[in-house]
Amino acid sequence: MRNSKLVTLEEAIKRSGLKDGMTISFHHHFRGGDKVVNLVVDKLAQMGFKDLKLAASSLSDVHAPLIDHIKNGVITGISTSGLRGALADAISHGLMKEPVVFRSHGGRGSAIASGELKIDVAFLGASSADELGNACGYSRSENAKSICGSLGYALPDARYAKHVVVITDDLVPYPNMPMSISAADVESVVVVDSVGDSSKIAAGAIRDSKNPRDILLAKQAAKVIINSGYFEDGFSIQTGTGGASLAAVKYIREEMINRGIKASFALGGITAHMVKLHEEGLIGKLIDVQSFDKVAAESIKNDPTHQEVSAVEYASGQHLGSATHALDIVILSALEVDTQFNVNVLVGSDGIIRGAIGGHQDTAADSALSIIVCPLLRGRIPCVVPKVTTLITPGKSVDVVVTEYGIAVNPGRPEIAEKLKAAGLNIVDIKDLAAKASSIIGQPDALPFGDKVVGVVMNRDGSVLDKIYNIVE
């Protein structure tokens, strides 16, 4: 067609004006199935680029090939929500000269919108696009090869990056409508064999638990919600990943039916669980920044009341119109919670990075009621500790901590403690939970941290919350 933006990846890179030292960006909607980051960075390495800064919405196990590109000087800076697998391990051991900058999803959206995080060239994978760049996380054509649903984390990049390259595995006739990314924001369109493996979206952090302890935790979390005072007609809810918080939805559903209560919306990473409640009429609307499984991705394609939102619209702390500000209840998981209610979801108790901030900071801060669900111990690793290894979500935004040994309520929310006590729930002091953990496992030795900063944790307002040091073997 006239004005076609269709080019090869190499031509797209040349046309973008990318130079050494510039910032490139990616989204992670294919999670463990992503193929775009490795494909593009391999090509950039082949073309001889050096000293590039990689601004991803998140990175996971599948991005281990970046290790070689870091060693070869192709990538010299990373910002992301999380790191997992071999790349996380290598970075924790001091692979990079520059520390990795960790931001929440809302924090990244805000940083891009404000210009604090400047993106020179965005490479955005899409499951369908036309020759002018109208792009989507799903395809309505019969040649559809992939589906990731919402492109929420890619939308700030599409809007604010100086140059946008859409990469798709299904080129469809103009106009690709309705679209997520508008052709008005796109400079080049590249067709590849595959942008991602949709079957791997739900892998990793998101799992459906049959673990009896997770089910116990889920039931307790559901009781907290039901008796919190926020469980009334028109309430809104978000669940994080993690077996227990996903399982809690099942018990909340039962009580919604019993009491004839309906939710106005569910927010966030949308899962099949939430789609089911929505389709049953128990949840009015779904606000979706990231589709956590194929069911959710199909739903956003087919259901007009399942709305895609950008990371800014989802969880920006700077934009009061963001959806987290309207959120009543959020259930989140944690690697560690400390006696000040501070939460760590990023660095393992061995000091190695193994997680992601995600929307944790954002939803905990803005919601009316934030509930952390975690077991007291995972094997010998304590989850309730005197002090978190790394501070991710400040305790002042955490209201309730649910464990199998009791429920702790932040002293700043006495009215919630009263309501839960009146409902007969086992309310305990969080210091007693930490003491219980250490009575079982003993006193852990200090971690062998070195003196090199490998990661910087940003708060969603752009301030520095904590630093992550290297681990010495």
Partner 1 sequence: MKEAVAGTLESGDIMVTIGPGDGLQVNLQSSVAAQFGRQIKAVITETLEGLGIHDAHVEAVDKGALDCTIRARVTAAAVRATGKDVWKD
Query: Quick one: DSSP state of residue 51?
Result: S
Distance CA 465, CA 447 (A): 20
Q: Which is nearer to partner 1, 411 or 444 (CB)?
A: 444
464, β-bridge pairs: 458
Q: Is 387 in the site for partner 1 (CB under 8 A)?
A: no
Q: How many CB atoms lie within 10 A of CB 210?
A: 9
- Residue (48 or 379) nearer to partner 1, CB: 379
- Using rule CB under 8 A, residue 461 touches partner 1: no
Beta carbon nearer to partner 1, 125 or 348: 348
Amino acid at 434: A
Q: Which of 48, 304, 321, 445 binds partner 1 (CB under 8 A)?
A: 445
Min. distance of Cβ 119 from partner 1 in angstroms? 38
Q: Does 243 bind partner 1 (CB under 8 A)?
A: no
Residue 188 makes contact with partner 1 by CB under 8 A: no
381 in contact with partner 1 (CB under 8 A): yes
Strands 283-291 and 263-270: parallel
Closest residue by Cα to residue 343 from 412, 402, 395: 395
**Cα 453 from Cα 468, distance rounded (Å):** 6
Q: Is the peptide bond before 173 cis (omega within 30 degrees of 0)?
A: no
CB of 383 to partner 1, least distance (A): 12
Please compute, for residue 411, the number of CA atoms within 13 A of its CA located in the half-sphere on the CB side: 5
Crossing angle for the helix pair 294-302 and 272-279, to the nearest 10 degrees? 40
Smaller CB separation from partner 1, 81 or 349: 349
Nearer to partner 1, 156 or 355 (CB): 355
| 447 interacts with partner 1 by CB under 8 A | yes
Most distant CA atoms of the chain, gap in Å: 72
Task: Residue 317: count other Cβ atoms within 10 Å of its Cβ.
Answer: 21
Nearest CB to partner 1, comparing residues 11 and 350: 350
Binding test (CB under 8 A) with partner 1, winner from 33, 149, 317, 351 = 351
Choose the stretch contacting partner 1; rule: CB under 8 A; options: 223-231, 279-287, 349-357, 454-462. 349-357
Q: Which is nearer to partner 1, 323 or 468 (CB)?
A: 468
Report H helices in 73-139.
Answer: 85-92, 105-114
321 sits near partner 1 (criterion: CB under 8 A)? no
Contact 341, 430 (CB under 8 A): yes
Binding segment (CB under 8 A) for partner 1, from list 15-23, 234-242, 362-370, 440-448:
440-448
Q: Does 378 engage in binding with partner 1 (CB under 8 A)?
A: yes
Q: How many residues bind partner 1 (CB under 8 A)?
A: 14
Burial class (CB in 10 A: 0-12, 13-18, 19+), 420: buried
Pick 6 or 381: Cβ nearer partner 1: 381
Shortest distance in whole angstroms from residue 148 CB to partner 1: 31
Beta-ladder partners of 93: none
Select from 135, 267, 217 the least CA-distant residue to 403. Answer: 217
Q: Does 282 bind partner 1 (CB under 8 A)?
A: no
The single residue among 21, 234, 412, 448 that binds partner 1, judged by CB under 8 A, is 448
Task: Give me the residues that bind partner 1 (CB under 8 A), please.
Answer: 349-351, 378-381, 440-442, 444-445, 447-448
